[in-house]
Structures are given as structure tokens and as C-alpha cells.
Structure 1
Amino acid sequence: MGPKRNFAAAALLLSAGLLAARGAFAGGLICLQSNSCQARVDPSRLEVALRNGSQPEMIVSAAQTNLGRVADLRFDRELNPGTASWTLPERKVTLTFTVTENRLAVHVRATEPGEFTFPVIPAGDPAKAWILPLFEGVYAPCGDTNWETFLTTHGALNTTADLVLPFVGLECRAAAPARAWTLTCILTNPFNNQLQFVRAPDSTLAARLTHQFTRNHPVKEYAVVFELGPPSPIEPARRYRQWLIERGEFVRFSDKIRKTPEAAKLPGAAHVYLWGNDLLNLADVTDWKGFARALQAGAAAGASPPVRWIWDQLKPDTRTVAAQILAAAWPDRYQKSQIIEDLNRLLEQPEFAGAAAGLEAALEPEIAALLKSDRRSLSRADRSRLNTHLLAAAFPGLLAQPDAWGNGTSPQMIQQLAAAGLDRLWLGGDGWRGFQERPQTVAAAKKAGYLIGPYDSYHSIHRPGEPDTWETAQFGAALYETGAIVNADGTRRRGFKQKGFLLSPAAARPYVEKRVAALMPSFHANSWFIDCDGFGDYFDDYAESHPATQQSDLQARVSRLAWIRDTFGVVIGTEGCSAGVAATVHFAHGVLTPVIGWGDPDLTDKQSPYYLGSYYPPDEPRVFFQPVPMKAKYRYLYYNPDFRLPLFETVFHDSVIATHHWMFASLKAREDAPTVELLELLYQVPPLYHLNRAEFQKRRAQIKRHFEFFSPLHRETALLPLADFQWLTPDRRVQRTVFGDRFEVIANFGPAEFRRDDARLGPRSLQVRHLLTGRTQTYTAQ
């Protein structure tokens, strides 16, 4: 062993001497190289410079201080010129640098829990702009005050939640534009990282990646990969896509269709959340004055038993409102909604059949048979049908035929959508109650060729009986006591809005299977939406009964998504689409437009001009239905097309169908709706709407116009990669995408006409060219 050790030491001294003689930095550098790539590294300060081919050398990680001494340096320039490793004993880490062809990979391994920062990516000269996978993707020019303020004041970014894709990119300038280039830094371990943008000594920004080595990881390690590439602003996304493909982690949507045939209905579908679950709707009362008068008659001595029973069960405030409606020249919506809300409360009760006395002869035979059965054993759907028919029989001539009642989650809504020619839709509810009470709505949607399913969530758990809870967070007392995610200090992690606790995916799994298996037979959905699982918030769990790392937390979420998908053959969707879930899900809400301004009091203050709206009325929550103006800073950061990049679509366009978050749907930003419409068509992603029956009638022409242009095109482009993206004008207002080798889309976001060759494209307009035939189509946003 002695001679070998002496030989290795001599080789290291020789290499160090050669490097010192040839180096452009101070002495003690290591030069790693492959046929086309060269990296120069200062082991003591971790300053790293990279060159690829004829591209200029650039610093990809700035020097750090206080790293301590270097030990166990291993590098043989003659036998293995592409690899070097050493330890930093004071920091308890070993670093390995490896150059292969056009990549530099850096692996960091720790011997004990702690933190380590690397890389520190500088954005001084020649950097021109950050290319960041924040939601769909952003282009943040260096020196732009708004972007630099946003990045430096946001706080540390979680690289699975705040970054939809685990990479950081830079666009770099050169004297000759054709020689410009990009830097891509892929975070091969996206877990337990924080990315923070800080001011460098020269006042430019630097991105500092800090990894936390946690005690629950037996092997404490992470790695990053650097690549230099051509100057396309989507090049970092292309590099990440290729990295996924090389690792066998990319799944095409065409393969997902083969596994889940119902997914073939998703390309070309607009996405719609349906509102109005209640059995009785305002429009189902045909004579409001007469109905209020008939209700009040229940107080009279000679009232019929059914009407008297209903009157007695109404809340005192509801009885007062009935009198107000009679006295009003024009009863308002709020008064009517109070009556409807209270009656729907009664319709939910098995005891409503107490109103049946004397009504048997007025019922259809099928309904009369339900009345004679054990009403406490009726399904929710049968109970709802019985009670609605009893109410209609108690007030003849004042209510519509009960099978025609309902709002957004009713068969009548489905008929309206189909009659408009919308032959492909994804339809979602705000829960599952509306589908349980009206399974015929799901049946009608499936018959029309739609995908339809409930909203479900396993993110939080609440105490049984807790005030203002929601149905998805109720799992019983036993799981409430044992199922919470536990922090490293032994405390339980608080739930959404600090209510209850976050629920361990491992502990929740039996409850997931029980809930979905119980719900599915009651309405037979062909889609299922799971909130939060794709958002990217993954947790270390120190509970003894269900320990987890962030990585195993993700794996447990992916496993339950796959179980629902494969057990029932449903099309599966989730909130957001952190890269780790992309191979499993079919669609995602919250990528094109994320949640904006969370915690900004101006968005929740009713006196603010930027108030997003209330969650009332339940059949038309203003927070979802009402278009509002957006604050200037949000318009700049989220809606200005100059700063938008299709990074997620470059990676996953032919794998996951992604669109807006439901909080900021297609029509939410009042002044920016035309821009949103053009972005949807340019990136080939579906619109997302919130509808009930009245809202659809109001928006019918607008939705139909967009659908007729988008849907036939997306049925083809959804299976193609987004192959290219370009700016066609210096102000970045005219943009071009290419899908496969078949479609070119050009969008003009500017106020002036754009001319290209013999073609002209007006402001706020978009042109699609079919590359195989030369046929063109033009669309103008409204």
C-alpha cells in the first residue's frame, strides 16, 4: 500500500504543478475535461468555471469563504482527467466533480446532519436573464427592478414547490448574438433544498442553493448537473426533458392513454368547475310570490299537514324572509337564496318524509315505492329524489318538475353544454355531494363524452366535529390522534390555514382506499381530482408510526394517485405538477397561472379595488365567478407576456395537460383575459372556467368561440412535444411556438400589426400554420 500511496501523492503534486502553470486563476486549481467540456475548480473556495466547445468560459458557481481546509484530494489528470474528489473536514462533506461530454456533475455527500451551500450561481456579466420554472416559466431580465425585488424579497424557494421543475437557467449574451448561450443547472435531488436570490458584491443577483442533510436520511447526499447550451430561452427546459428521458422517467401522454383509455377524452377538452350542488335552485321556483304565500299558509290552522310540517321546520329568519318577499314589489336574489338555502337543508334530511301525509296519491309509482321503504336505508340519491318529489307535491303549480331541478351539477347543465356543441369537456365539482345526490348528472356527462369527477383531498385532518371543517378533512378520532405529520422537534405540523394538522400520506392510505371505494359506486366517475398532491410540498415526518423523508412522502402520494387511477380506470388530476408526479397524472391545475398574492390583504379586503370576492353564494362564489382588476405588480409578474416562457410545456406538453389554478381561471383577471386567451392558444393548454347554468348562458358565445378554435387543434397538439419557442420581435411581443413537426403558432400580444414575409397578423391575434399542408387559421382575442 505504501508505494501506491506515494505514487498517488506524486501524481497529485505533478497535476497540481501542471495546473498552476497553465491556470488562469490563482494556484491550486483543478482542471477537469472531456472531449468537448472543461471545468476549472478551486477546491478550497468552490469557485467553478465551465466551458463547452467554442463557447466562452463562465463562472457557474461563485467563490465561497469559510469552507475550511481541503483534505483527501484525489485527481489523476493522465488516467482520469474528468473526475476529482476531496473532503472539507470542517463541513463534514465530500465533493466529487465529474465532467462527461457536455456536462459537469457535482455530487455532495455528508457524514452527519447539517446544511451545505452549493452552487452559488452568479448573474453578473455575461448573464442577461434568469430562466426560472416558477409556475409555467418566467424570463426575468438581469437588472429588472420588479423581478429582482420579487426574487430577493420572496424568501427562500422550495425547489419542489416553488420551482415546478428542478432547474435554474441563465441566458448569457455574447458580442455576436449567434454566439450567445445558456446555462442550465439541474438539481438531481430536488428534496430538502432552498434556493435564495441574494445580492452579490457587484450588486447583481446570485442564486444560492442550500441543501439540508436531515437525520432521517441514512445516506445524506445531493447533486447538481451543469450544462452550457445554445441561446434558446427554453434550452434549460429542453435539457431537463432530455435528462428525464435518459433516466427513463418521462412518460408520454399516448402511453398514458394506452394504460387509461378514458384519458383519450382529455385532449381538446376545456376544463370546467361546476357550481350549484343543491337540489333546489332559485330558478326552480316558478312563482315566488305564490310560493312565499303558500309557505306562510303553513302557519294557519287549516294548513295541509305537509305544508305545516315544512313551515314548522323552517328557521325563524326564513319565515321572516317569506313575509318580506310577499311585501316586496320585486323580491331580490338574497331573499330568495335564504328561502332556497333553508329548504335545501330540509331536503337533506331523512325526516323530510314527515311532509308526506296526504301526498301519496300525487306521487309517481316509483317515488311512492321509495316512500314505503325504510327511508333511513335509502341511498343519498334515492333520498334526494324522494324528498324533491315530496316538496313539489306539497306545492303544486309553484315549482318546476323536480327531475329538472338543480344548477351546475344537474343533468340540465350537461344538456346545455352539449347543446352548445362542446363535445369534449373535463367537469369537476367542489366535492362529491352533488354527484352523490344526482348520479344522473355523471351518467349524462359520460353519455355526452365528457370526463367528470369530484374534488378530493388528503392534505389536512381536522378534529371530528370541529367548527367550519370541510368533508375532505374528516377521517375520525383515531387517525386525528395518530396520523399527523410530526416535525423534527416532536410537534405536529399544522394544517392548511393553521387548522388541524397535515396528514401523513402513509397513515392516510387505508382511508384513501376506503373513501374512494365507497364513493365510486354511488356515481361512477371517470375522473378524480386530488388537491395538493402535485403541488410539491413534501415533508420529513418524524412520527414513529409513519416516518418519512420528503422523497418517500412524494412516493406515497404518487402511489395513491396511481392506485385510484389504475383501480378504477379514471383520469387523474392534481393541484400543480411538481416534476415528481408528472409520470403518474393526466392533468394539473395551477401551472399556467398559480395562486397569486397569497397573504396580500388587498386581495381579501372587501373595500379594496383588488378584492377577489367572497365565497358566497354557494352556487356562484364571487371569488371564482367575478372578474377583477389585478394589482400592477401582479400584472407585471404574472400576466405580462414579455416575461412568460413555456418551460413546463417544453418538458411535459406531450405528457401532462396543465392549465390554470381554479383561483385564477381563464376569465378572472379582467384586463388581462385577452392575454390569457392568447397564451392558452400559443402554449396549447386548455382554458378553465367556473360555471353554473346562468353563468354559462351569459358566457356561452365567448366559450363556444374559443372552444371551436382550440379543441380541434389541441386534439392533435396534445400528443406532440413543444419543439421550439422564439421571440420574433425585439420587444418580445410577438412569439412563436412549434409543436412536433406539424404546427406553428404565432401570437401577437402587441398593439400594432406584425408583418412576416407576405403574412400580416393584427394586434392581439394569433395564427396557426399547419406545416404539412400550409393551411393557416387566425384568431383574435376579445
Structure 2
Amino acid sequence: MKKAIIYIGICIVLISIASLFTQTTKGEKVTGKESDKRINYAKSDFTFQVTPETFALSITKDGKTETISEPQKKRNISNFKQSATEASWDYPDDKIHVTLKKQGDSLDVSIHSTNPSTSKFEWPSVNAPTYTLPIAEGKRIPQNDADWKKHFADESEQTMNELFSMKFFTLNKPSFAVSFIMPDMYNNDLVFKAEPAIHFSAIHTFPSINKDKKYEYKIFITDNNPVSIAKNYQNYIKDTNQFKTLEQKAKENPEIRKLYGAPHAYLWNTRVLTAADMNWQQLKANIDNPLFPWISELLTKYNPDGSEEFQQALTNIANGEMYAYEKNVVLNAFQYILQLPQLYNKTIFKNPDAAAQAYIDKGVNKLHEQELYDLNKHLIFSHISGLTKPLNTWGDSNATDIIEEMHDAGIKKAWIGLPNWVNGLMNPKSVDTAVKAGYLLGPYDSYQSIQENPSIDWNTASFPDKTLYENATVENEQGKKLTGFLGLGRKLNPAVVFDAVKTRVDGILADDIAFNTWFMDVDAAGEIHDDYSKQHPTIQSEDVAGRMKRIGFLNKKGLVVGSEGGNDYASEHISFAHGIETPVIKWSDPDMRENEDSEYFVGKYASMDGSIPTKYSKIVPIKEEYKAIYTSPVYSLPLFKLVYNRSVITTHHWEWDSYKIKGQTGERRLKEYLYNTPPMFHLDEANWKLHKKDIISNSKSWEPFQKEALQHEMSSFEVLDKERLVQKTTFGANLQVIANFSNKNFEYEKKTIPANSAIIVQNGKKNIISTDNLDS
């Protein structure tokens, strides 16, 4: 068929908004008035040309033409139609119908499949000198950059929902920027090619179970800078009623304001009975305590490996050997049996105290989880009271004492996450202490995976309803169940497990534990699925709806809810996110994940001694090739903050807290202020002592800075030097941050920005953030 070329264009006189923006040859600079009034960043005076046989698409503006989708293999076309503003045709062999329509300042593309079976369609295929992509917070990627070429050669196929935090990608063409914005990113995958330069294609899957077999793009032309690109996307989000500020959320739940100025910390109070609580010499003298054989019997039945270790430790102690190993085994055994409903045995615990007796009278099998733990603590204490400190002081050293010291040191705001709800239910005193200090404190929770056999050690993957393992898990189209985290168990379908969520949460909160925040693993990370199960077929939009339903349930309970990742399908529902600023770094590198002798090995998930697992506390370098991808300010852009600064507070993934990367603590500190990113750290008794001075000192600057920054849009971003190592952000009219990531001083507007430092100008006052000694 003769090639048909369509030329359609409408030139519309656009009211000039040039006075709102300025350009600089030093780098990007776009400054606009902060206002709730809509400022239009998109250009409408363009024309487009398309070749239907190859679906090549180009845009012409001001006499300059750029190809925005590269030609693909020729296809047969039929039913070609065109008018002044619209073009449409069919690919009969693919059962695809395409419509292009110029509407105002966007070019709308709709691709519809009539194939009842699962099918795929590739479009667009793009190639540009530079890409602006919402990878995590945001990246500027030159297509010939060696590190990025290697990255995309290794990671050539990626799911769009997991790679991108927002629903767009942008091509930086020589003449203008072209943004492809999607209503959603469901069923979209990206295929990258690194040679001869980086280019990529989007492949959409039309699942057989999805009756709405259509996907769409809105294509916008903007100025070629990140602020125009991000603010244009923000306009789209607002125009489609998907934007909700923190203050709007706080009107529904005022507790959200406790996030304003708060650092984020995970508190590892994983033992309620700690080494500091034990009188070890008394233990040696009472090694024949009748409680110990009962503990061994329980461990033999429910934790055989633990039983063998426990019995050996007792033998060693009886023989005069009581080292760190023996102490840890004993404490781990206590922590385990304190969670067992089978602990109470009237032949062992003949004289329970009044508190324990009240629980026994109620019926052990009728107790809420928190009541069970309290019963077990009283039972244990009644047998070993001479071996420990008073029961009401158990766990103070690794929880309550740290919280009190933080407050006494002047830290007024803090978000504190527990690795598990058990840590709070076993030590409600620490939760009360945090809440009285004005902090947010709550548990990590997850509904990603389910194990066939419930386990105390992985209780987030354990559910009382045994039918869920078969009846509520995700299947692919071939009928195979998807495996859970680390290849264990199965993946739960969030659309069908709400009752299980409600049962768990209501059970945790049954005795009014003072949790005022909740962290939901994975739900905002973009890891979503189609479920082809005949019992509960579920498409990806329904998967997300199930996740948002459970987050909404937590919101209605007055909890401040956050999640992993921060994908913006969740932006209206969550208040904070962990993983936007520093995502998980290179899952697939064996030196980081498997080779324990490697200097890059990030550490282990488990901790023998109850301290922070080394995966979170060990300070490690990252390879040079990963710095461009994950941390370097040269490639980073505050895209998410330019859109959502007033809507979602974002920080690092918990695997990569502010101190984790060797030699980069200072650089990341500067970026935290530049991007309004709360510092994150992991705390136990040892880590608090290690970082205490710096945490306290930094909080004095952080709290007033963020409280002001959150009141405004991030209104501008500027690169001030050709190396892209001096950058500036502006929040509203009276707050600026200038960060100098270089090793030399920089002069700017009669101000000297010292090397490796940032200057905050807030209401006319200057504050220097120094990174001296942070990486020494």
C-alpha cells in the first residue's frame, strides 16, 4: 500500500508567559510564582505527522521537526481516516485500532485491541539525546553515558510501574521536550537497547481477563527543562483530580502534621528482655530452674533448631562457659516462647501473679495478641524474678531510654518505625513514651507474601485462615502460582484479602496500643499483578484498588500511613514513602547480595544478638558504576518533589539509610536539604550512641527547614555550574537551598558556597549545612 503521510496542525496564538520564566546558559533555571492558579507549561502551537504503516510520529514547532516515535516494522493498515484534527486506522493482522487526536495543547493517542486473547503491542519506540525519566526521584540520562549504557544493557527489560514513580517519560529533543503522559502504567513494560546509544520501546500487554483493551498517551510539548516537564505533569495530575496536599490530608487526620520536620528512624527493639535486663551470675547459679526444661520442650515442638541450641547453651553455662553466644541463645529463646500461646502450663506456673491470673481466668485462647504477650511476660517473670530487673523495666535500654534521650536532646518531631508490631505489643511502655514525646511510632506490615505454614519468625506472611494459601494467591495465565518474597511461599492477591487485613489490624489494635502510624510494605512500590485465577480473576487496576482499600482502612483509623516506593498511584492515600530518594541498589549484584567476603556485601537480614541486622547497619561502599545510577547529583533531578512536595514526604529505602553508603554521607546530607528529604537512620542502643551527636545536631536545622519547605511547592530547580555539581532549589518565596557538591568553593550572587556544603536562605537568614567529618 502506498505510504500515507498525514499532516495535521493547528496554530493557536498562545498568551505569552515568558515573564514567569528565565533561562540561563549555566544550566536549567525556571522560576515561577507559587500559586494555586494554573500556569500552562504546555505548547499548543505544534503540528504532527504520522506514517501509519510504521507508526512513526513527528512533531513540528516553530519550523523545527523532531521524530518522537521511531519507525517500526511495516504493518498492513486498513480503514484509514483523517480530518482536520484527527486520524485513525486499523492494523488488521494485529487486531489493533489506533486514533490520534489533537486536543488543545496535547496530542492524544489511543490504541485499542479487539483480540479476545492476551496480546501485546509495541509503541512508542523512542530515541533522544537525553531522557528525563521519573526513575525514583528523577533522572537526567544522556543517551551516550557509559554508566547508564551499562546499566540498561544489564537491566534491559523493566516493568514501567516498578521503574517509574510517576506516569510519564520525556524525550529531550534538540528543539523541545516531548512528554508521554499515561492515565496509568498498568501492563506496560520497557525494553532498553544500549547500543549504539540508549533507546527504548514501550510494550503494552492486553490481558485476556481485561475487558477494557485500550491504552492511551497524552503527548505534550514543553520547554526543555525539568521544571516545565514536571510542572506540566503536575497540571495533568491536578486536572484529573489526583492531587491532594498534606494539609488536606491533615484536616482529616491532624496527626500527619507530626511528620513536618521529623527525621525517620527504624527502632530495633527486637527483644523485650535484653542483655541489660539480666543478672547473668544469678542465671549461672539457677541453671536448674524448672522453667528451662519446659522452654526446651516448647522449642523442641515449635522451633527444633532453637531447642538444640538452647539446651547446648544451658550445658555450657552449667560448665562455667557464659559468653556472648550463650547469652544470645538464652535471650532468643525467651523472645520466642514469649510469643507462644502454648506457654501457659498450670503444672509449671502454679502460682501466677494477679495480672497473670486475670488473663488465665479469661481464657488463654480468648486473649488478644497484646494480652497474650503480657500474660507470658508475667509467667516468665514469676519464675526468674531474681534473674532479671523488674518486669516494668524490661526492654528500656533498647527502646524507651533511646526515645527519652531523643526528646530530652531537643528532637521535637520523629517518625519511628518498628520492624514488627510484636515489638510494640510486647513493650507498650516504649510506644506510650514515644507518643507522649510527640512522635509518630508504629509497625512495619506486609501483605505481599503468604507462607503455607504459619511462622512466628515471619508473621507478616502468616495468616490464621489456612484457606488463603490456595484460594487467595496469584496465578499467571498458565495456572502457575507466583512465588513470594525471596522465592518463598506465594503472592497474595490484595483484591481478595481485605478481611484478613482487617482481622490482623483490628487484632493488633484490640487493646488500644498507642500506635499512631503504619508502614505498608510494597503497596506503593509498583509491584502489581494480573491474577488469572478462575476463582478471582483480577486485573492490575483492581490489584491497586485492593491495596488502596487497605491503606484507606488504616487512614480511617487515624493512623499516619506510608508505604514503600511512593509510586504516585498511591499519592492521594499515603502521607510518606520510603524508597523514592534512594531505592534498593542493584538486587542482582552477587558481590552485594551473596559474596560475604566482598567489601560491597550489604549484610544479612538476621541478627543473632538482637541488634540491627547488618543489612541495615553495616556501612559499605557501592561500586563506581552504580553512583551514576543511584546517588550522583549529576544525574539526579527532583522531579517527584517538583510535583508532590506538598503532597507526599519521601525519603530513602530502609536498606539505604543516610549513613549506609561509605564515603557518601556528606553528599547525601546535602541532597536531603536540596530535595527536602528527611534523614533516615536505624537505631538500637549501639547505633544511637554512634550517631547520637550528629542526629541531634542535624535535627536543629532539619526541623525548621522542613516545616517551612512543606508549606510550599518546590517552585524552581537550577544547575549553576557546567559540571552540574552546584544546584539550587526554591520553595515558595522565602526559602532557597544552594548545595555545592564539588570540592571547591563556588561564588553565587555575592555569596560563597563552601565546598561540600549547602546554604539555606530562609526568610532572609542564612544557615550553612557543613559535611565536615561526616565521612571521616
TM-score (ref. length: structure 1):
0.87
Whether contact under 8 Å (1:595, 1:663) holds in the other structure is yes
Q: Report the AA paired with residue 776 of structure 1.
A: K
Q: Distance in 2 between matches of 1:374 and 1:484?
A: 34
Shift of 1:27: 6.6
Greater mean deviation of Cα atoms: 367-376 or 254-263: 367-376
Q: Distance in 2 between matches of 1:97 and 1:565?
A: 40
Q: Distance in 1 between matches of 2:367 and 2:487?
A: 37
Shift of 1:147: 0.5
User: Cα gap change, 1:437/1:594 in structure 2, threshold over 3 Å: closer, same or farther?
Assistant: same
Q: Residue 291 in 1 paired to residue 300 in 2?
A: no
**Where does the alignment leave 5 or more consecutive residues of structure 1 unmatched?**
1-15, 17-25, 174-179, 299-304
User: Cα gap change, 1:396/1:557 in structure 2, threshold over 3 Å: closer, same or farther?
Assistant: closer
Q: Residue 345 in 1 paired to residue 346 in 2?
A: no
Q: Report the AA paired with residue 434 of structure 1.
A: N
Instruction: Report matched runs for 1:82-121 at 5 Å.
Output: 82-112=85-115, 113-121=118-126
User: Cα gap change, 1:307/1:49 in structure 2, threshold over 3 Å: closer, same or farther?
Assistant: closer
Shift of 1:372: 7.8
For 2:181, which of 182, 186, 206 is the aligned residue? 186
2:57 is matched with 48
For 2:575, which of 574, 578, 586 is the aligned residue? 586
Structure 1, residues 611-642: CA drift from partner, whole Å, max 9, x if none?
11122134321111111121222223212111
Q: Report the AA paired with residue 598 of structure 1.
A: W
Whether contact under 8 Å (2:734, 2:764) holds in the other structure is no
User: Cα gap change, 1:323/1:482 in structure 2, threshold over 3 Å: closer, same or farther?
Assistant: closer
1:196 is matched with 191
Q: Residue 278 in 1 paired to residue 284 in 2?
A: no
1:732 is matched with 724
Instruction: Report matched runs for 1:379-390 at 5 Å.
Output: 379-385=368-374, 387-388=376-377
Q: Report the AA paired with residue 753 of structure 1.
A: N
User: Cα gap change, 1:372/1:216 in structure 2, threshold over 3 Å: closer, same or farther?
Assistant: closer
Structure 1, residues 672-703: CA drift from partner, whole Å, max 9, x if none?
11111111111001112111133212211111
Q: Report the AA paired with residue 197 of structure 1.
A: F
Shift of 1:326: 7.9
For 2:71, which of 63, 69, 84 is the aligned residue? 63
Instruction: Report matched runs for 1:318-467 at 5 Å.
Output: 318=310, 320-321=312-313, 324=316, 332-349=323-340, 351=343, 379-385=368-374, 387-388=376-377, 391=380, 394=383, 398-406=387-395, 410-465=399-454
1:560 is matched with 550
2:27 is matched with none
1:529 is matched with 519
Shift of 1:63: 1.3
Shift of 1:297: 5.1
Shift of 1:156: 1.9
Q: Distance in 2 between matches of 1:249 and 1:585?
A: 13
User: Cα gap change, 1:181/1:345 in structure 2, threshold over 3 Å: closer, same or farther?
Assistant: same
Q: Report the AA paired with residue 638 of structure 2.
A: P
1:10 is matched with none
For 1:242, which of 235, 250, 254 is the aligned residue? 235
User: Cα gap change, 1:760/1:310 in structure 2, threshold over 3 Å: closer, same or farther?
Assistant: same
Q: Distance in 2 between matches of 1:267 and 1:109?
A: 45
Q: Report the AA paired with residue 769 of structure 1.
A: V
Q: Report the AA paired with residue 82 of structure 1.
A: T
Shift of 1:757: 2.5
User: Cα gap change, 1:32/1:67 in structure 2, threshold over 3 Å: closer, same or farther?
Assistant: farther
Q: Distance in 2 between matches of 1:451 and 1:605?
A: 37
User: Cα gap change, 1:708/1:213 in structure 2, threshold over 3 Å: closer, same or farther?
Assistant: same
For 2:756, which of 751, 759, 764 is the aligned residue? 764
Instruction: Report matched runs for 1:156-175 at 5 Å.
Output: 156-173=157-174
Q: Report the AA paired with residue 219 of structure 2.
A: F
Structure 1, residues 273-328: CA drift from partner, whole Å, max 9, x if none?
1112322101112x43x134223354xxxxxx668877998956445435656877
1:550 is matched with 540
2:654 is matched with 662
2:303 is matched with none
1:33 is matched with 10
Shift of 1:43: 2.1
2:741 is matched with 749
Shift of 1:339: 2.2
1:650 is matched with 642
Whether contact under 8 Å (1:103, 1:226) holds in the other structure is yes
2:302 is matched with none
For 2:481, which of 465, 471, 492 is the aligned residue? 492
Greater mean deviation of Cα atoms: 430-439 or 404-413: 404-413
Structure 1, residues 475-522: CA drift from partner, whole Å, max 9, x if none?
432121211112122222222222222111122011111221221123
Q: Secondary structure at the match of 2:85?
A: strand
User: Cα gap change, 1:418/1:632 in structure 2, threshold over 3 Å: closer, same or farther?
Assistant: same
Q: Distance in 1 between matches of 2:549 and 2:362?
A: 41
Shift of 1:357: 7.0
Q: Distance in 2 between matches of 1:401 and 1:468?
A: 27
Structure 1, residues 346-383: CA drift from partner, whole Å, max 9, x if none?
444564676987977xx7x7678668875665555455
Q: Secondary structure at the match of 1:599?
A: coil
2:244 is matched with 251
**Where does the alignment leave 5 or more consecutive residues of structure 2 unmatched?**
13-44, 300-306
For 1:685, which of 647, 662, 677 is the aligned residue? 677
For 1:711, which of 682, 703, 711 is the aligned residue? 703
Q: Distance in 1 between matches of 2:471 and 2:350?
A: 52
Q: Residue 628 in 1 paired to residue 620 in 2?
A: yes
Supply the RMSD in Å over aligned alpha carbons.
2.8
User: Cα gap change, 1:55/1:136 in structure 2, threshold over 3 Å: closer, same or farther?
Assistant: farther
Q: Residue 474 in 1 paired to residue 463 in 2?
A: yes
Shift of 1:406: 0.9
Structure 1, residues 73-131: CA drift from partner, whole Å, max 9, x if none?
2223xxxx2222222222322222122343222111121142222111112xxx2x211
Q: Secondary structure at the match of 1:747?
A: strand
Q: Report the AA paired with residue 193 of structure 2.
A: V
Q: Distance in 2 between matches of 1:631 and 1:690?
A: 23
Larger radius of gyration: 1
Greater mean deviation of Cα atoms: 633-642 or 229-238: 229-238
User: Cα gap change, 1:402/1:84 in structure 2, threshold over 3 Å: closer, same or farther?
Assistant: same
User: Cα gap change, 1:627/1:72 in structure 2, threshold over 3 Å: closer, same or farther?
Assistant: same
Q: Secondary structure at the match of 1:296?
A: coil
User: Cα gap change, 1:87/1:346 in structure 2, threshold over 3 Å: closer, same or farther?
Assistant: closer
Q: Distance in 2 between matches of 1:61 and 1:433?
A: 53
User: Cα gap change, 1:166/1:599 in structure 2, threshold over 3 Å: closer, same or farther?
Assistant: same
Q: Distance in 2 between matches of 1:509 and 1:381?
A: 22
TM-score (ref. length: structure 2):
0.87
Q: Distance in 2 between matches of 1:193 and 1:766?
A: 39
